[in-house]
Each structure stands twice: as structure tokens, then as C-alpha cells.
């Protein structure tokens, strides 16, 4: 199983010749990432956060032409200016800081990611999307949306991050996590915008 993952990752990161168009697109992504990791991560975050909101509005809520473009723009902006670049930087910090290899190193990275990074990232996402203007609103958001998203994070992300830190090369982690995040972003968008409708 582990060897199968390694072969797939080698193909995806461009270390093997392949004519498959999806592999070529990922090797193009890899070249863009090597040239400008922060910019590539920002654009990836923008596109995939916007797709999460589109999925929420069109698949979950079936809004059709009543689509609220301002919400999609807000989610895309969040991915562009905050989540994409921040996650990229976080993965670089983890990679440089935690030199322990094997399962122990992976578990330490997951613990750091889930106990240090996730609560802060979720806090910023929830506050950006809710636009709390005073302390009472902030407290309300913290006791409802924030706790809902944080609890669900602990059910959803540890397994994904185990795969991320075990098998996915650093240059592909943001695109991998953001691709998985389409489901996660749909959930966040639903909690923040659609749940009460």
C-alpha cells in the first residue's frame, strides 16, 4: 500500500514521464509552485474555497439562479489572501522544525497542526466570514459557529493530515489539502451562511 502511494506521488510530482493530462496538469502545478509557492498556494486557495461555496449553494441548498455571488467572492477572497498562503507557510515551518521521521514525526506534526494551528486558523476564518463588530457578537460566534467548526475539524482532519504528512510531498500539500477542503469548505460555508436559512 505504501509503495502504491509512493508511485502515485512520484507520478504527480513529475518525477516520472507520463502522458496522462491530469498528471501533466499536476506537474504544471508543481512547476508553478517551485517558481512561486506563495502565489500558487494563494490562487489554489482562492479557487478551491470558491468551489466549496458554489458546492454549498448549488448542490446542498440548490439555489440555482438565486446564487449569492458575494458569499462566493468572500470565500474565494479568504482562500486567496489568507488560507492558501498561511497553510503553505505553516507546512514549510512544520517541515523545517520537526525533523523526526517515521510515524512518530507524522504524529507530532498532526498534534501541532490540530492543537496549535487549527484552532487559530478556524478562529480567523469564522471571524472573517461573520464580520463580528463588537465583543457580544464575537462571543456569540465563538460559542456557536466556532465550536461547531472546531469540533467537526477534529473528526475530519486528523486522518487527512496523517496521509498528508506520510505520503504527500511538501510541494503538493497545499493543492492536496485544498482539494480535500472542497468538502470542508462546503461545510464551513454552510455553517457560516446557509445553516440558519
Asked if residue 48 is part of any domain, the answer here is yes
Residue 80, in any domain of the structure: yes
Q: Each residue of 175-192: pLDDT tens digit?
A: 788 788 888 878 877 887
- Measure the N-to-C terminal CA separation of the chain; round to a whole number of Å: 44
Q: 4 in a domain, yes or no?
A: no
Mind listing the pLDDT tens digit for each residue in 110-145?
999 999 999 999 998 888 887 777 888 888 888 888
pLDDT-above-90 percentage for the chain:
43
Total domains present in the chain: 1
The Cβ-side half-sphere exposure at 187, using a 13 Å CA radius, reads 17
Q: For 49-62, how does the pLDDT look when each residue is reduced to its tens digit (9 = 90+)?
A: 899 889 888 988 88
Q: Does residue 27 lie in a domain region?
A: no
pLDDT at 196: 55
Amino acid at each position: 500500500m505504501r509503495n502504491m502511494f509512493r508511485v502515485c506521488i512520484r507520478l504527480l510530482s513529475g518525477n516520472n514521464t507520463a502522458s496522462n493530462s491530469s498528471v501533466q496538469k499536476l506537474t504544471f502545478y508543481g512547476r508553478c509552485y517551485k517558481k512561486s509557492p506563495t502565489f500558487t498556494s494563494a490562487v489554489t486557495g482562492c479557487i478551491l474555497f470558491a468551489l466549496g461555496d458554489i458546492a454549498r449553494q448549488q448542490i446542498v441548498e440548490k439555489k440555482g439562479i438565486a446564487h449569492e455571488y458575494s458569499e462566493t467572492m468572500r470565500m474565494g477572497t479568504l482562500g486567496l489572501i489568507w488560507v492558501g498562503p498561511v497553510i503553505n507557510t505553516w507546512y514549510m515551518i512544520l517541515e523545517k522544525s520537526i525533523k523526526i521521521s517515521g510515524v512518530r514525526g507524522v504524529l507530532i506534526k498532526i498534534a501541532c497542526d490540530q492543537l496549535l494551528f487549527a484552532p487559530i486558523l478556524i478562529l480567523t476564518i469564522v471571524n472573517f466570514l461573520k464580520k463580528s463588530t463588537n465583543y457580544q457578537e464575537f462571543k456569540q460566534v465563538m460559542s456557536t459557529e466556532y465550536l461547531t467548526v472546531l469540533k467537526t475539524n477534529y473528526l475530519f482532519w486528523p486522518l487527512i493530515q496523517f496521509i498528508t504528512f506520510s505520503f504527500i510531498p511538501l510541494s503538493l500539500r497545499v493543492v492536496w489539502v485544498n482539494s480535500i477542503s472542497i468538502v470542508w469548505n462546503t461545510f464551513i460555508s454552510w455553517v457560516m451562511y446557509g445553516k440558519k436559512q
